[in-house]
Amino acid sequence: MHRGALRIGKGGFSKGLVACAALFLSACGDDEPTLPGGPGGGEEGALYLVHSAVETNGSRMNYFTLVDSLDEPKTLDYSKSLELPGRPRLYAAKGVGFFAIGAGESPTITRYEVKDGALTPGASISFQNLGVKRMGAQAVHFVSATKAYYKDDAQGQIIVWNPAEMAVEKTLALPAEFTKAGYVTGLSQWATREGEAFFAVGWSTSTYDTVLPGSVLVRIDTATDALSWSSDERCRDLTKTGRQGDTLYFFSGVINGLGYAVKGAQDAGQQDCFLRIPAGQQTFDTGFVGSVASALGENKVGTIIALTENGTAWLQVADTTITPSAPGTTYSEWYSKGWSWWQVPLATLSAPSRVDSAPGAYSGFTLTSGSSFFVSQSAATYSTSTLMELSSGAPKPSISFPGFVLDVARIR
C-alpha cells in the first residue's frame, strides 16, 4: 500500500481513504517509522530525512529533504531536496551510514549517501528476477551496514541482501501454508533486538472488512538467517509493533476493529488485542494477553498505533456513536469520521487521556521519536502539511512542507 494524500477533518487528523484501501497489507502500520533519540529527536548531530510529495492531476513528484531536528517549527525548502517522480519508498536506519530508495515503478533499490549536504546516488539492485512486483513500504530491516532483510508479502519470502555491495545473498522462503486461498496475506511491521528480527503473519479478506483468527510469529536469527515460527490463536491482525527494553510487543490493527464493530467477534474480528515476547524468549508469552477495551469503555473501539520510549501507548479510537458501524459498513466508511487520538501508560492500561482535538477521519501517518509522538495535519487541498506533536495533550506544530508526508527516517 502506498501512502496517499493526507487530509484533516474538522479539528481532527486523517488520511485519504483510498490510500488506506490495502491497510492490512502494509498497513499504514507498516509505513510508520520510529526514530531513536530524545524528545522530538532534538539531539546534537542528528539528521533526518523527510519524504514528502506533491500530486498534480494524478502526477506525483516526491521530495527527499534533510532536516536536523523535529523540535522547532520550520518550513522545508524543496529547492535543496532530491526530486523523484512516481511512488518511491524510503528505506533507512540510524547508524548504517547511508539510506536507500526503492523505485516507484520497478522493484529496484538504489543506495544513497549524504555528501557535502547533498543526497548522492550510488549503486542499484533489482529484485525483479525474484518475483517482486512492487517495493513495499517500510519493508527493509537493516541488520548492519552489510546485511539487510526485505520482506516480500506477495511472494512469501525474505530477501537477504548486502547494502554495501548491493547484491542479493539468498532468499528465505516462508512456508506455503502461510498463504490461505481467497485471503490476503499480511506481514506486520518489523520488531527487532540484538541478534533477532520478528514479524507476524495474518490474513484479511480482499475487501479489508474481515480478519481471520490467529496469527503466526516468524523469527529470524540474524547471525545465521535461520527461520522459525509458531502459531498463536489468541489475537489476530497483528500489524503494529513496539519495544520496551528487550520486550517486544505486537498490536492488533484497525481492520480487526472494523470486523469486531461491524460483524462481531465470532466472524470477523475481536476486541483490540496485543501480545509480547519477553526478554530472553523467542515466542509469545503464553501467560499474557493485553487489551485497552476495558479502559476505553462503551462505544469506543481502540487500536494501539505506536509505543514511545517512555512506555506510552498511542491509540486511535473510533467512537461508534459517530463512526459508521452498521452491518455492511465498508472500510472507507469505517475510516471516515469519529476518530480521535488517546494516550495511556502501557504498564497499567488505565486512565487514558484524549488529545484536545475534535474527532475526524482515520489518520494513516504517525511517527515516534523518543517520548514524542507526531501525526500529520494537512490542508483540505493537500497544498501544505504540518507534523503535529501530541505528547503534551494538545497538537504542537513541527515541520511544515508543501504537499503531504510519506515517511520520515533518522539517518544519523
Q: What is the mean pLDDT of residues 49-76?
A: 94
Q: Of 243, 297, 245, 249, give the one whose Cα is nearest residue 271.
A: 297
d(CA 386, CA 397): 6
Q: Is residue 27's pLDDT more than 60? A: no
Sorting pLDDT into bands at 50, 70 and 90, what band is 200? Answer: very high
Sorting pLDDT into bands at 50, 70 and 90, what band is 15? Answer: very low
In a domain, 100, yes or no: yes
Q: Is residue 20's pLDDT more than 60? A: no
Q: Which residues contact 337 (CB under 8 A, 6 or more apart)?
A: 9, 322, 323, 324, 359, 360, 361
Residue 114: exposed, middle, or buried by beta-carbon count in 10 A (0-12, 13-18, 19+)? middle
Q: What is the mean pLDDT of residues 90-101?
A: 92
Q: What is the mean pLDDT of residues 103-125?
A: 94
d(CA 104, CA 278): 38
Q: Is the dihedral of CA 47, 77, 121, 91 positive or negative?
A: positive
Q: Of 310, 309, 377, give the one whose Cα is nearest residue 341.
A: 377
- Alpha carbon distances (Å) from 400 to 41, 71, 79, 278, 387: 16, 12, 15, 39, 6
Q: Which of 32 and 310 is assigned the larger pLDDT?
A: 310
Q: Which residues contact 72 (CB under 8 A, 6 or more apart)?
A: 398
Residue at grid coordinates 483468527: 213
CB contact at 8 A, 178 and 156: yes
Q: Is residue 195's pLDDT more than 90? A: yes
CB contact at 8 A, 150 and 159: yes
Q: Is residue 122's pLDDT more than 90? A: yes
CB contact at 8 A, 184 and 203: yes
φ, ψ (nearest 5 deg) of residue 298: -70, 155
Q: Of 333, 299, 322, 357, give the one whose Cα is nearest residue 13.
A: 357
Buried b (16+ CB within 10 A) or exposed e, 170-201: ebbebeeebbeeebbbbbbbbbbeeebbbbbb
What average pLDDT does the chain have?
88
d(CA 22, CA 308): 26
CATH number at residue 317: 2.130.10.10
Q: Of 248, 253, 234, give the one whose Cα is nearest residue 32.
A: 253
Q: Which residues contact 397 (CB under 8 A, 6 or more apart)?
A: 73, 386, 387, 388, 389
Which range of residues forms the domain containing residue 206? Answer: 6-410
Sorting pLDDT into bands at 50, 70 and 90, what band is 58? Answer: confident
Question: Dmax over Cα atoms in the chain, in whole Å?
Answer: 58
Q: What is the pLDDT of residue 265?
A: 64
CB contact at 8 A, 146 and 164: yes
Q: Which of 154 and 31 is assigned the larger pLDDT?
A: 154
Q: Is residue 344's pLDDT more than 60? A: yes
* Structure confidence by residue, pLDDT tens digits, 282-304: 999 999 999 999 999 999 999 99
Q: Which residues contact 251 (CB under 8 A, 6 or more apart)?
A: 238, 239, 240, 241, 242, 272, 274, 303, 304, 305
* Structure confidence by residue, pLDDT tens digits, 217-252: 999 999 999 999 999 999 999 999 999 999 999 999
Sorting pLDDT into bands at 50, 70 and 90, what band is 205? Answer: very high
Q: Is residue 398's pLDDT more than 90? A: yes
Q: Of 324, 362, 316, 365, give the one whose Cα is nearest residue 341.
A: 316
Relative to beta strand 396-402, strand 74-75 is parallel
Q: What is the pLDDT of residue 266?
A: 67
CB contact at 8 A, 275 and 235: yes
Domains in the chain: how many in total?
1
- Alpha carbon distances (Å) from 78 to 63, 147, 161, 282, 364: 7, 32, 32, 45, 24
Q: Which residues contact 99 (CB under 8 A, 6 or more apart)?
A: 49, 90, 91, 92, 93, 111, 112, 409, 411
Sorting pLDDT into bands at 50, 70 and 90, what band is 43? Answer: low
In a domain, 1, yes or no: no
d(CA 193, CA 243): 9
Sorting pLDDT into bands at 50, 70 and 90, what band is 95? Answer: confident
φ, ψ (nearest 5 deg) of residue 209: -130, 0
Q: What is the pLDDT of residue 104?
A: 87
Sorting pLDDT into bands at 50, 70 and 90, what band is 277? Answer: very high
User: What single DSSP character describes residue 269?
Assistant: -
Q: Is residue 8's pLDDT more than 70? A: no
Q: Of 247, 392, 383, give the one whose Cα is nearest residue 307.
A: 247
CB contact at 8 A, 70 and 42: yes
